[in-house]
Structure 1
Amino acid sequence: MSYKDLLRYGVFGIAVATIVAFGISPFTGGIVQQWSRSDVEARSRLVFNAIQPLLDRDVEDRAWNRLSDLFKRVALDKKILAVGFCDQGGGLVASTPEMPTDFSCEKLAKSEDESFASIISGGRRILVAAFPVSSNSGRSYLVILTDLSFAAARSSQVLAYLLAALASVVLVLTVGTIIFAVLMLRRWMDSLKRAVEEVRRGENGPPPITGSSIDREIHKLLRDAEHIPLTNQIDWTPQSLQEVLHGALPGANVLVVSNREPYIHNHSALEKGIVVQRPASGLVSALEPIMRACGGTWIAHGSGSADRETVDEHDRIQVPESSAAYVLRRIWISEEEQDGYYYGFANEGLWPLCHIVFVRPTFRLSDWQMYQSINQRFADAVVAEARTDDPVVLVQDYHLALAPRMIRRRLPKATIITFWHIPWPNAETFGICPWKEDIIEGMLGSTIVGFHTQFHCNNFIEGVDRFVESRIERELQAVSLGGHETRIRPYPISIEWPPKELRQLPPAAECRSDLIKQFGLTECTRLIVGVERFDYTKGILDRMRAVDALLSRNPAWRDRLAFIQVAAPTRSKLNAYAKLQAEAEALAAEINERHHGRQDVIHLVPMHYEPADVFRLFRGADSCVVSSLHDGMNLVAKEFVSSRDDNEGVLILSSFAGASRELSEALIVNPYDTEEMASAIDRALSMPVEEQAERMRLMRQQIKENNVYRWAGAILLDAAKSRTRERVLSLATKAHLGLRPS
């Protein structure tokens, strides 16, 4: 191809593009006007939603003057022509001065829902938005009139800008394409000349022509386009999460993979049948509402004694059984496999390694081999349950660190999000693990790896840098390994808002009375509560020692306070957990003996509480202690705050729990400092109700705005961007390869 040919094609391209630009211009006006109308409708709806409480009040009071003042403030918006109120008799009882004289309430398109209609008044096209308002006297309407003449002006401006922009872009792109083609052609010719010279000298053929610079530019442009923040305007609910999922990931096949199942079926001798239990797990508390909102399939270990009896021939069951929302697919793990995979490598190895609470991790080759085998079993189940070749897979926690890479090998187009629910230690600490490279590489099979905090993200990237040969882009927090890129992101997990358990619970005062009776306490007793699993990372002994220290320094609290600690037994096969429970029981007895009075100080309840019972305990307490020695987030703190719709109660929170970065109005403590903990308990029990309310309101607002649906929405939106990015890169690569000379 000669330079004249390139020039001829360039001129032809400009001519064609110009014809196309003018050809689509007639449609521009209609599109802009339709967009303008949609914008006006949305603005009218927003105004109605904003003033509805004041509107309802004034209508109920028949305070028409006050209503007119409200309308005048609304009409300060330059785009709003007039605002009025039509009563049930069709009369205009309140309106702004700019209301057209020929406007009549009788012309409204009255309906039970909002309505929008265009009218012509004084030579102007006006949009009339009518919103029904119900009152004791009947149905009336708020009307908002907007002058649409601005749409015509906007359409003309957009058309002019469009034509100018198209002409400029076409010109620049065409000239740029010609220059690029000339340079590529010249480069190819130079390469051919060098090849001829090398052949003449008896050397090898020409080096391959690569497009690495183009690839880098494509990557850069796509990454720049991805920096779109999560909107703060969404009110995150199950419905809005569904809308995000359907809008950002239309038709996506969502799969959750975790060791813990959300519903456990057990035989019960007491109830003579099968009972359903929801486990005491932060992971389940966070993910179960999401699955109810989005549907899909949850793949988990079937651990209940009656689990096999409740599934179908494909090991599936619809849950919740009362109102099926998604599918639970159970994986079967033998007791021997459980000893190696779960109790061994996951909980004697990774758990203490990541939590750094001075319990030595134990690593055995047999446990590691079992861990690999069970991870492969979960990965195989994902492949079997996937309805498409590009599902969205949410891999949960440290039990399944190898699964992302295993899934990636079988489903290369899958969007895999791994969320690590526990802390990630620094590189030096993680270096203790003999199979650290395998674990990191397994996780890097993910599209996104999520942690609770930025600190844990930084630790993970440092570990990748130390132990795995890869390319790290710290500014983007991305790791490339084997041609696949993984993004590392913080996603602070949260809880459902409002918690559904609150709907059936009595007021706080009644909950308190029930607790006083249940534990045989006097009416004036101040109640401190703690709810955990019996786990050495939770600081159960430390909070009991703090209560002991408070009573020792201030005996006046004797018989005036009680500490109720609910601790569900867990991992009792492991010596460290069995030892903890024995130590806690002995310490409780010792403290009760030391401060013996009319009633016990420590009430240790070593049993599982259902969520409703936990919230009843929270609502009746004066204070809740969360003294984790090291924790990813700790949702108990958020559940306590969410339970206190009376705005009373004080949260005492460890600085080593991820929740302390969000709930700064709690009393933040160092759980290793017994005296500081004792002072915090004293302060909590003495805090004025006004201060409690102010702190609680701020924390409740934080949890409401950053609930579990927002957490899931952030992850799903990032997943959607990654899917789009991968598809664009694939198309760009194919197009780029098509440009190379053969």
Structure 2
Amino acid sequence: MVSNRQPYVHKYQKGRVICQRGAGGVVTALDPVMRASRGLWIAYGNGDADRRVTDAAGKIGVPPEKPAYTLKRIWLNKAEEEGYYNGYSNDTLWPLSHLTFKRPTFRKEDWDYYKSVNMKFARAIADELGGRKAFVWIQDYHLCLLPAMLKELCGPQVITAHFWHIPWPSHEIFRICPDKKELLEGLLANDLLGFHIRLHCNNFLEAVDRELESKIDRERFSVTKGGHETLVRPYPISVDFAAISADAASPAVEDTMRSLREEFRLEGLKLILGIDRIDYTKGIPERLLALDLLLDQHPELKEKITFLQIGEISRIHVQKYKDVNDEINAIVERINWKHSTENWTPVVLTRRHVSYEEIIALYRLSSVCMVTSLHDGMNLVAKEFVSSRIDDGGVLMLSNFTGAARELTDALVVNPYDREQCADELHRALVMPEEEVSRRMQKLREAVRSNNIYHWAGKIISDLLKFDFKE
């Protein structure tokens, strides 16, 4: 397994080293798969205590409480991190891929760092393999060039699959990228390329058709270029339903629920929950403005609800992220000034790290979970929330611009740009009869149970194993 983001991060806290689970959907989805397979995960080590705990080869067993697989860390200097990660990955490819009307930034120096860091990953993998045959599973948009580089270093000894965790844009958008041909050629070095939904597969094939000389087989969903065939497939990602459900019933989560109820003064209040990285694609300002409208239209809800936004700061060195962080602060301040009473504040915004047990406990405590992404490949918060609701309670409010909306049809599906609709559906969720809440959640839980993370991984690995190593 190869990804930019690591599944576990070691940090200094109050003079001692602590280990935190990495944030984001990639880690949520793939950590249980790696525990089951007991493989090797190669990723960028970005924690300030990461070097202290790894061996000379940059390796450590994870998770710390019961090591099940090996994490190998790649080290980047500040210039590499700025150019490859903050620059090309998140100021170029991220806004290019998400339809949120944020202009991508194209800088040659960022592209150069992106290429050099992809090669650093390729060499680390090649050194690790030492000429042995291997299946390599690459994750996401940070490593578009890695498949071609790895094939050049290792030849036919390596079979690669690549899963793209974010949307693939339409060609009308993608064609503005100066490096579009190199990105496509890098990805077409894979043997298997996966996206969340068929629409993203179609967008990718359209880009290849318009930009490269190749043979596209639309019945087989494959591309042949230079004698090499790449299969392109939709694989809707999921979560470990059984494990999350079991954890939700654990004494540790029950204790955490009591603690959080006290910390956020939730007694007697209906909790509306948002859990996201602070990111302009997540629709956090839009959901806050819908809450503001809801309180204008239904003042009787004052002192009866609390909106809690968990928002861990992300990519703060990218100006677009600083801007949305400032926007969220201003909206929260305005809503609380406008609607608060002597004993009640409508919005609580916290940016502290929230542990896995705390996340599950918050899901359990909430009456409504708002997932209002402006554009998302899948969004696993929605599926985690559903998996945690062992009581068949809680209402999921879900953006129709997420991949998850295609599966979770018993959620209240909304257009996050439509403030009036979001306010109306939020009110509907808060006053929904318990029988309807339970009926909807039971159907949602069955949808996630039947397409869990092992089903997803099994389909990809099954397709990958059909490939033969070439002599």
Q: For this structure pair, what is the TM-score category when the shorter chain's length is used for normalisation?
A: over 0.9
| Distance apart, 1:447 and its partner CA | 0.5
2:221 aligned residue (473, 477, 492)? 477
Partner of residue 26 from structure 2, selected from 277, 283, 293: 283
Which residue, out of 426, 436, 445, partners 1:681? 426
Is the partner of 1:630 in helix, strand or coil? coil
In the alignment, the residues of structure 2 paired with residue 631 and residue 672 of structure 1 have an alpha-carbon distance, to the nearest angstrom, of 14
**Among candidates 381, 388, 391, match of residue 643 of structure 1:** 388
Deviations 1:479-503 (A, max 9, x none): 0111110000001000012235325
State whether residues 531 and 567 of structure 1, in contact with CA within 8 Å, keep that contact through their aligned partners in structure 2: yes
Which residue of structure 2 aligns with residue 378 of structure 1? 121
Q: Distance in 2 between matches of 1:516 and 1:722?
A: 52
Instruction: Render the CA deviation track for 1:430-457: whole Å, top value 9, x for unaligned.
Output: 0111000000000001001100000000
Question: What residue is the counterpart of 1:352 in the other structure?
Answer: 95
3-state SS in 2 of match to 1:543: helix
Corresponding position of 2:207: 463
2:242 maps to amino acid: P
Count of aligned pairs between the two proteins: 467
Q: Which amino acid aligns with 1:691?
A: E
Cross-structure match for 1:570: 314
CA-to-aligned-CA distance 1:455-488 (integer Å, 9 cap, x gap): 0000000000011111111111100111110000
The yes-or-no answer on 1:299 pairing with 2:45 is: no
CA contact (8 A) 2:248 2:364 kept: no
Report the 3-state secondary structure (helix = DSSP H, G, I; strand = E; otherwise coil) of the residue aligned with 2:117.
helix
Specify which structure has the higher proportion of helix.
1
Equivalent residue for 2:78, pick from 335, 342, 352: 335
**Alignment partner of 2:296 out of 552, 555, 559:** 552
2:309 equivalent to 1:543: no
Q: Which has the larger radius of gyration?
A: 1
2-side partners of 1:658 and 1:638: how far apart?
11
* Aligned residue number for residue 148 of structure 2: 405
Q: Are the aligned partners of 2:83 and 2:114 in contact in 1 as well (CA < 8 Å)?
A: yes
Spell out the pairing of 1:223-622 with structure 2 (5 A cutoff). Answer: 256-269=1-14, 272-386=15-129, 389-413=132-156, 414-500=158-244, 501-502=247-248, 504-505=250-251, 514-521=259-266, 523-597=267-341, 598-622=343-367
The answer to whether the 8 Å contact 2:221/2:231 transfers is yes
Trace 1:151-170 onto structure 2 (pairs within 5 A).
none
Amino acid at match of 1:416: T
1:376 and 1:516 mapped to 2: Cα distance?
A: 48
- Whole-Å Cα distance in 2 between the matches of residues 277 and 616 of structure 1? 17
Residues 411-444 of structure 1 show CA distances to partners (whole Å, capped at 9, x for unaligned) of: 2322200000000000110011100000000000
Flag the 1:360–1:257 CA change in 2: closer, same or farther, 3 A.
same
SS in 2 for 1:563: strand
Q: CA RMSD in A?
A: 1.5
Deviations along 1:331-386, one digit per CA (max 9) or x if unpaired, are 01001110000000000000000002011100100000000000001011111112
How far apart are 1:607 and its partner, in Å?
2.2
CA distance in 1, matches of 2:131, 2:296: 64
- 2:471 corresponds to 1:709: no
Structure 1 residue 694 displacement after superposition: 0.9
TM-score by length of 2: 0.96
- Secondary structure of residue in 1 paired with 2:409: coil
Counterpart CA distance in 1 for 2:257 and 2:146 is 46
Unmatched 5+ stretches in structure 1: 1-255, 731-742
CA distance in 2, matches of 1:612, 1:512: 9
Q: 1:654 & 1:385 partners in 2: Cα distance?
A: 42
Amino acid at match of 2:60: I
Task: Give 1:387 shift.
Answer: 5.6
- Whether contact under 8 Å (2:257, 2:358) holds in the other structure is no
Map of 1:93 onto structure 2: none
- Aligned amino acid, residue 327 of structure 2: E
- How far did residue 722 of structure 1 move? 2.4
Contact 1:350-1:361 at 8 Å conserved across structures? yes
Matched residue type, 1:671: P
Distance 1:559 1:399, change over 3 A: same
Structure 2 unmatched runs, 5+:
none
CA displacement at 1:388 relative to structure 2: 5.5
Q: Give, in whole Å, the separation in 1 of the partners of 2:435 and 2:149.
A: 55
Q: Report the 3-state secondary structure (helix = DSSP H, G, I; strand = E; otherwise coil) of the residue aligned with 1:480.
A: strand
Deviation of 1:505 (Å): 4.5
Query: Do the aligned partners of 2:148 and 2:190 also contact (CA within 8 Å) in 1?
Result: yes
TM superposition shift of 1:548: 0.5
Alpha-carbon distance change, 582 to 396 in structure 1, aligned in 2, over 3 angstroms: same
Structure-2 separation of matches of 1:507 and 1:525: 20
Q: What secondary structure, in the 3-state scheme, does the structure 2 residue paired with 1:721 have?
A: coil
Which fold has the larger relative contact order, with Cα–Cα distance below 8 Å and residues 6 or more apart in sequence?
2
1:652 Cα deviation from its structure 2 partner: 0.1
Alpha-carbon distance in 2 for matches of 1:362, 1:488 = 28
The 1:296–1:387 alpha-carbon spacing in structure 2 relative to 1, beyond 3 Å, is farther
Counterpart residue type for residue 472 of structure 1: I
**Alignment map for 1:77-92 (pairs within 5 Å):** none
**Stretch moving more, 457-466 or 323-332:** 323-332
Q: Does 1:630 align with 2:355?
A: no
> Take 2:124 and 2:249, find their aligned partners in 1: how far apart are those partners?
37
Equivalent pair of 2:252/2:357 in contact (CA under 8 Å): no
CA drift at 1:506: 6.0
2: CA distance between counterparts of 1:325 and 1:268?
25
Call closer, same or farther: CA 1:391–1:640 in 2, change over 3 Å.
same
Residue pair 2:248, 2:389 contacting (<8 A) in 1 also: no
Q: Which amino acid aligns with 2:356?
A: P
Aligned equivalents of 2:80, 2:211: Cα separation in 1:
29
TM-score normalized by the length of structure 1: 0.62
Distance 1:516 1:323, change over 3 A: closer
Give 3-state SS (helix, strand or coil) of 1:392's partner: strand
Between the aligned partners of 1:709 and 1:387, the Cα distance in structure 2 is 29
